[in-house]
Structure formats: C-alpha cells, structure tokens
Amino acid sequence: MTGATGTAGATAADGRHPNPAPLVRAAQRGDALALDELLGLLMPYVGRVCAPIALQDAPDAAQEAMIAIVRNLRQLKSPEALFGWARAIAAREAVRFASRRRPWPEAAPDRPDDHDPELAADIQDVLKRLPPDHRAILTLRHIEGLDEKSVSEILDLPLGTVRSRLFRARHGFRTVWGTGLR
C-alpha cells in the first residue's frame, strides 16, 4: 500500500523498517494521511517495545507512547532517527506504567520465537518476575540488541547506572531461572 507520500517499499539502511523519513517530513508539515500511515508503521513497533516491559499494561503504555510521539513529532530533528526516538519514548512509558503496579503480574504477553517457542515462554516467565526497571534494561539490551550507551540514552540514565542495573538484572534473571520457577 502506498501512502500519502508514496513511500511503500522503501527500506531503511538497517533493512528492518521502511524508510520513514518522507512520511515524517510530510507529517511534520501537517499532512494527515502521512501521519496516519506513520502511526500505522509505528504502532506495532511501539507495542513490541512496551510488551516485555509493561506486561499487561503494555497496551496502555503503547497508547501513551503514541500520544507522546504525535505531540512531539515536530520536535524530531532527524526523521531518519524515528525508530530510535520512538523506542526511547515507548521504553520510558512502559517503565512508567510497569512501575505503578505492585506486585508484578502473574502472566506475561507472549513474544513469539520461531526457533524455540518453549524457551521464549520460559524467558518471558522469568522476565515477568523481575522488577520493571530490570525488565526494561534486559529487554533493551538483550532483546532489542542495544548497546549500554544506547540503553543509557533511552532510559535517560548515566552509563554507570545502566551497567549496575544490568548486572543486578542479569543476576536476578539467573536466580529466578535457577530456582526452577519457570
């Protein structure tokens, strides 16, 4: 489907996402069709970022993230950085929503893994037992594949804090994994 700017099929340099730059520029100029297409492109991505962090609050976190994205789209200086910018907003919203809820829920949304669905379910089960800040750090670092500096920028934390939380989160993950609660 080609949108208001005729960008369907264009691919970003990383090959994972369509090139959003023309849509972003058009939406920033007030093109409602471009904004609609851009939101359709972003919503699944934002949902995937929020799901492992906010668990059952993921839809609400994703909705709040999308609202923040729409409100602040004109402030995005580099349209090519859309997905990184959206990931940062989504991760912060997911942590905010997850931090409100205590104790943490008993069920986590499934994150499909074509290679080993049982392992993916076990990992999700362990992740859901961790505090939200640990889920966020592990999700961004190991599921999203970001380096520590990027995680630091997304969560707006000093690099040293990210490293210490990552250490504690990994330790907590190993502890839960080793107890046989999976």
Helices 32-54 + 58-72 axis angle, to 10: 140
Residue 85: per-residue pLDDT? 93
- Over residues 78-107, the mean pLDDT reads 79
Q: Could you confirm whether domain 21-178 is CATH 1.10.1740.10?
A: yes
Is the distance from CB of 109 to CB of 143 less than 8 angstroms? no
- Over residues 123-133, the mean pLDDT reads 86
What pTM was estimated for this model as a whole? 0.64
User: 10 Å Cβ neighbour count for 62?
Assistant: 25
Best-predicted range by mean pLDDT (14-28, 95-109, 156-170): 156-170
d(CA 35, CA 20): 11
Nearest to 107 by CA among 125, 132, 130: 125
pLDDT digits (tens, 9 = 90+) for 5-64: 444 333 343 445 568 899 999 999 999 999 999 999 999 999 999 988 888 889 999 999
Structure tokens at 63: 């909705």
Is the distance from CB of 161 to CB of 153 less than 8 angstroms? no
d(CA 123, CA 131): 14
